Amino acid sequence: MIKTDVVIIGAGPTGLFCAHQLGIIGLKCEIVDNLDKIGGQCIELYPDKPIYDIPAVPKCTGEELTNNLIEQIKPFNFNFHLSDRVQELKNEKNKWLVKTLNGKEFETPNIVIAGGVGSFEPRKFPTKSAEKYDGKSVLYSIKDKTIFKDKSVVIFGGGDSALDWAIELSNSSKVTLVHRRDEFRGAPASVQKIKELSDNKTIDLITKYSIKDIKGNGSLESVEIKSETGDSKVIKADYVLGFFGLIMQLGPIAEWGLNLDKKTIPVNTENFETNKKGIFAIGDICTYPGKLKLILSGFHEGALAARGCFKYARPDEKYRFEFTTASSTIKDRLGVKE
């Protein structure tokens, strides 16, 4: 059991800056994110896309923004719990007991939900028949590539994951790559390589087709694909891999008794607390009149939520407002030597 002042759910820019604000006012926090890296949507969706509306930063990419935020909270040495997800919350004597999917437990008076639009999960095949084989012979990520040796593998998708795995597995498996159109969004070098492999018949490349059905009798036998014009083909398959990017699901957050408005959590604008005492929501996941889904709004929300957390973390102390330019206490916390 880890005791802390605040558990932050979500390591995107909003969660990171909230952690900074907590550090500045002398609170400890633990940060949980179900991605395997820090940065949230900035890193997962647009690491290379320039952002133009961070105050005083005319232009930076999602990755640069993330790296700077990580740098900014370094002095506080907060723990990150990546590839993990907060699953369960229980209230006990004004404390929240938090359990994660990987079995970690926290005791904290405050939870800050900075979960964006939920957690990222792989987009799955739309066909019902795929569910039966999910995790066994229908896969959306690869942990052990040796299982594909000498097998027939049908890969769906047109992005880097699909192309890279098609290239990689073509060495030791019979690979068919299926994509819904002729163009690929993967790196040009990979697209070129795929075309070469297709030309010399190392892989079967089928475009303008998508999945129709998965067939098998106990174990997977074949996959049926269809074109928009109504043609269909059956391909023998031991494994079917789908790489259609990630979708965002609210997940367990929906089960914590919080008021919800569509996929967002209503909060007050004084401290961004939800209808549950000690649970705050900031960033894209919160809603209030006038809400803007901007990173800068998330920063503001995180700063105020941090002060809200102070009240429950230090019930016997009075919060004192200080500037980072003037306060020696804050400079000590930042490890600044003068």
Partner 1 sequence: MAKIKYIEFNGTEHEADVANGLSVMEGAIQNDIPGIDADCGGGMSCATCHVYINDDEWFKKLPEKEMGEDDMLDQAFEPKSNSRLSCQLIISDDLDGLTVHMPEKQV
Q: List residues binding partner 1 (CB under 8 A).
A: 41, 45-46, 117-118, 123, 126, 157-159, 179-181, 183, 185, 210, 228, 244-245, 247-249, 263, 284, 293
- Tell me the closest approach of the beta carbon of residue 178 to partner 1, in angstroms: 12
Alpha-carbon distance of 273 to 12, in angstroms, equals 19
Minimum CB distance to partner 1, residue 316 (Å): 41
Do the beta carbons of residue 298 and residue 114 sit within 8 Å?
Answer: yes
Place of tokens 């997940």: 251
Closer of 111 and 295 to partner 1 (Cβ): 295
Return the number of the residue (134 or 317) whose C-beta is nearest partner 1.
134
Asked if 123 and 247 count as a contact pair (C-beta separation under 8 A), the reply is yes
* Residue 132 DSSP class: G
The vertex-8 CA angle with 301 and 281, nearest 5°, equals 40
Nearer Cβ to partner 1 (59/149): 59
H/E stretch holding 127 reads none
| Nearer residue to partner 1 within complex by CB, 97 or 117 | 117
DSSP state of 40: T
Contact 127, 214 (CB under 8 A): yes
How far, in Å, are 12, 71, 224 from residue 59 at the CA level? 18, 18, 47
Nearer to partner 1, 104 or 185 (CB): 185
Tell me how far, at minimum, the Cβ of 162 lies from partner 1, in Å: 9
Entry field: residues in the chain = 338
Smallest gap from Cβ 271 to partner 1, in A, equals 24
Q: How far is the CB of 73 from partner 1 (least distance, A)?
A: 25
